[in-house]
Amino acid sequence: MERMSSHEYAARLRAEASYLEAKPAFDMPSYTGLAKESYWYMGDKEGFIRAVRTLGAGQKSIGPEYVEFHPADAPVAIRIERQHVCRLVKPAEYDCEPFLAPEEEAVMDAAVAGETRDTSQDVPF
């Protein structure tokens, strides 16, 4: 992965903006203007932590896959895979809705019990 500093990235954005402003205006796809902020994906823990410290105050959010940091005064956010900055303390615990009605569940349980019973003592007919 190619690396650059935040200042190099800012210069790149200015060059892109200058290029676009030098051309006649045209419509952009709607998805480009919907985001309130840009996301920067960080691939390493040290780089992520260094960026968080540099950007200052903000809000951290932890999702199922990523940890994100949203600086209070910037239209950017940085994210990293959760496994790089968090450790699993205990396995996930799930509470699932039943898939079957109680009657269907009983039929399935009986079928499973019939398949798993010990048949080694059965007398052949």
pTM beyond cutoff 0.75: no
SS3 content of the chain, % helix, strand, coil (to 5): 40, 15, 45
97: its two tokens: 């809705």
pLDDT tens, N- to C-terminus, the chain (125 residues)? 678 888 998 999 899 899 989 999 887 766 655 556 677 888 889 999 999 999 889 999 999 899 999 998 888 889 999 999 998 888 877 888 877 788 888 888 888 887 655 545 544 43
Is 60 within 8 Å of 75 (Cβ atoms)?
no
